[in-house]
Structure 1
Amino acid sequence: MITSKTQLVGLFGHPVHHSQSPVMHNAAFAAIHLPFAYAAFDVAPDALGEAVKGIRALSLRGVNVTIPHKVAIVPLLDEIDPLAKRIGAVNTVVNENGRLIGYNTDGNGYVRSLLEETNIRLTNQVVVMIGAGGAARAVACTLAEHGVKEIRIVNRSREKAQMLAELLSSSVSTSVIDPQQAGEAISDASLLINTTSIGMYPHVEEMPVAAEWLRPDLVVSDLIYNPLETKLLQTAKALGAKTHSGVGMFINQGALAFELWTGRSAPTELMRETVLRQLQHGGT
C-alpha cells in the first residue's frame, strides 16, 4: 500500500511498456516490507531534462535509466561514480537529499551473474565480444577491471569498435576484429559474449555468429533475456558448451540498484523467480 511515507523510485526510458523492472522491484520491496514503490516513466528524449528536474521536485529516491537515455543523462547529474564515468553511461541514479549521483550497475550485474552461473576464472579468459554499444562498454570495462587476459571486439562499425578498444587499452590487451575474421578470433578464445540485439524476440531464429564457430569448450554468453534461451545459446548448449543468458545480468543489475537505493541486500532469488514467471507467461 502506498502511503505518504512511501519512497518512489522508477524507470526512465522510451519506450518502457515492455520492462520487467516494475514487477521485479515491487515484488522485492513487498517481500522485505520496505515502504518503496517502483513506476515506469516513458520519457521522450526532448523531455529528459525536465524529467531529471522532476526527480528532485518530487523527491524520488532514484531511478533506473534505460535506452535511449543512458548517455544523455550523464551531464544532467551532479556526480558520476568513477566506473560509470569510464563507461560513459549511467543506468542508476540515486537522489541523496537533492544531489543526483549516477552509477552503472550493468557491468557488475553481468559479472556477478556470469560467475554465479559458470564458475569460470576471469583472469584466464580470452574474450570475443560481439558488438560495441552501451552494453558492450559496460561489460568490457568491468571485465577489464576484473583482470581478463584479452578482449577482442567484433563490430560492424570499425570506428565504434576502435573507440571501445581505446577506452580499454590501458587496462587490458585489446584488438578490433573485422567481422570476416570473427571465426578465426573465436577459434582460440574461451568466452564469447553477444552484446547485440541479434536473436532477440521476435527475430528468434537469428544468430550473431555462425554455428560452426562454436565449440564444446567455449563459454557462450548472451545479454538477451527474451527469449530466455536464444538460438545462439541453444546451438552452443547442443554442442555441450557452457552457456549464460541475459536474465542473470538483468536481475543482478537491478539488485545492485535496489541496494544503492535502500541500503539493504536485495532478495535476488525472489527477483529471479518473478522475472522468469513473467517471461514464461509471455511478458517481454
Structure 2
Amino acid sequence: MNPIGSTKLMCLLGNPVSHSISPAMHNLSFDELNLDCSYMAFNIEENNFKAAVDGLKAMGCVGFNLTMPFKTAIIPLLDEIDSVASLAHSVNTVVNEDGKLKGYTTDGYGFLKSMEECGISYKGTTMTVLGAGGVATSIVTQAAKDGVSKINIFKRKNATFEKTVDFADRISKATECDCFVYDMADNDILEFSLQESDILINGTNVGMGDDDTSLIPKDFLHPSLTVCDTIYHPEQTRLLKDAASKGCKTMNGKFMLLYQGAAAFKLWTGQDMPVDIVKEKYFS
C-alpha cells in the first residue's frame, strides 16, 4: 500500500538499523490486513535521540520500536511504563496514546513464545543467562513471571554489576523465581551453573556477524542442556555450533524477532499480525 496523507506511521529507532527486517514484516502485515499504515527504520545518533522522539510525538506517530542503544535511554522520556518493562528496566515498544508515550517490552514475550514454538519447555526449569542488557533483562523478567524456578545471570564485573545485582533482587522479590548474578570471568561457578541448568541463553552480542567466538568453553556443554541464542545473524553462532556438536538442542533468535514484533503490532493496531504469512516469507 502506498503512503497517502492519512497514513499512520510506525517506525524503528536504533543504530544501526540497516540490517533490520522489521519494516518488511510490518509493512507486509499492513498490506495483508488492508491497514493504512507504514513502518520505517531510522538510524539515529545518540545525541539526536531525544529530538527524534519529540519529533515523532509531535507528528502523531502511532508508535515505535527501540533497538540498540536506546532501550533504556527512552525510559526518562516516557509518560508511563508497563509493569514488566519497569521491572526489566528495558523498553522496546512505545505507544503514543493521544500525545502520551507509554513504554512496553515485548522482547521477553517474543523469546519465550519462540521457545514454545520450538518445543522447549521452560516452566519449573533452571536457566543460565549470559548478559544483562535490555534483551537479557526482558527475557529474565518474563521467564521469572512465567514460571522459571531459578535464573543465574552471568555478566562482566564492571560499573553496572551492582545494578544487575539490584535487578536480580527485585526479580526474586516480585516473582517466585530465585535470581542470582555472577561474574562472567568465574569459570568454576559458570561450569557449576551449566551443570545444574536445563537451559542456557546467550543474551549478549558475542557471536554476532563475523564474530566466531563464544563465551562458553565447549567442554562446559552437556547433552541435557538446551542452548538458545538471541542472535539470528548468523543463524548458527559459535555457541550454537558447539552446542549441537555436544548433542544439545539449540535455538537461535530469529523467531524472537517475529513474535516480539507481533506483540508490538497488536499494541499499535489492536489486530493480530498474520504471523504465518510473515513467517513463510521472511523466516522460512
Q: Which amino acid aligns with 1:163?
A: D
- Uncovered stretches (5+) of structure 2, i.e. residues with no partner: none
Q: Determine the structure 1 residue equivalent to 2:133.
A: 133
Q: Which amino acid aligns with 1:162?
A: V
1:126-275 matches, within 5 Å, as 126-157=126-157, 158-170=161-173, 171=175, 172-178=177-183, 179-181=186-188, 182-203=190-211, 205-275=212-282
Q: Which amino acid aligns with 2:226?
A: V
Q: Tell me if structure 2 keeps the 8 A contact 1:55–1:95.
A: no
**TM-score under structure 2 length normalisation:** 0.91
Q: How many residues align?
A: 275
Q: Determine the structure 2 residue equivalent to 1:21.
A: 22
Q: Determine the structure 2 residue equivalent to 1:10.
A: 11
Query: 1: CA distance between counterparts of 2:8 and 2:256?
Result: 25
Q: Which amino acid aligns with 1:26?
A: N
Q: Determine the structure 2 residue equivalent to 1:281.
A: none
Deviations 1:218-252 (A, max 9, x none): 11110001001212112222333221110011111
Tell me which stretches of 4 or more aligned residues in structure 1 moved more than 3 Å.
158-161, 273-277
Query: 2: CA distance between counterparts of 1:269 and 1:231?
Result: 29
Q: Tell me if structure 2 keeps the 8 A contact 1:90–1:102.
A: yes
Deviation at 1:21, TM superposition (A): 1.2
Deviation at 1:32, TM superposition (A): 2.1
Percent same amino acid among aligned pairs? 38
Deviation at 1:161, TM superposition (A): 4.1
Quick one: structure 1 residues 262 and 36, their matched pair in 2 at CA, closer, same or farther if it must change by over 3 Å? same
Deviations 1:65-102 (A, max 9, x none): 11111111111121111111111121111112222111
Query: 1: CA distance between counterparts of 2:153 and 2:120?
Result: 23
- Larger mean Cα displacement after TM superposition, 216-225 or 19-28: 19-28
Query: 2: CA distance between counterparts of 1:111 and 1:28?
Result: 22
Query: 1: CA distance between counterparts of 2:127 and 2:247?
Result: 19
Q: 1:102 and 2:103 equivalent?
A: yes
Query: 2: CA distance between counterparts of 1:134 and 1:167?
Result: 16
Q: Which amino acid aligns with 1:247?
A: K
SS at match of 1:123: coil
Q: Which amino acid aligns with 1:110?
A: F
- Larger mean Cα displacement after TM superposition, 50-59 or 107-116: 50-59
Quick one: structure 1 residues 180 and 119, their matched pair in 2 at CA, closer, same or farther if it must change by over 3 Å? closer
Query: 1: CA distance between counterparts of 2:273 and 2:234?
Result: 25
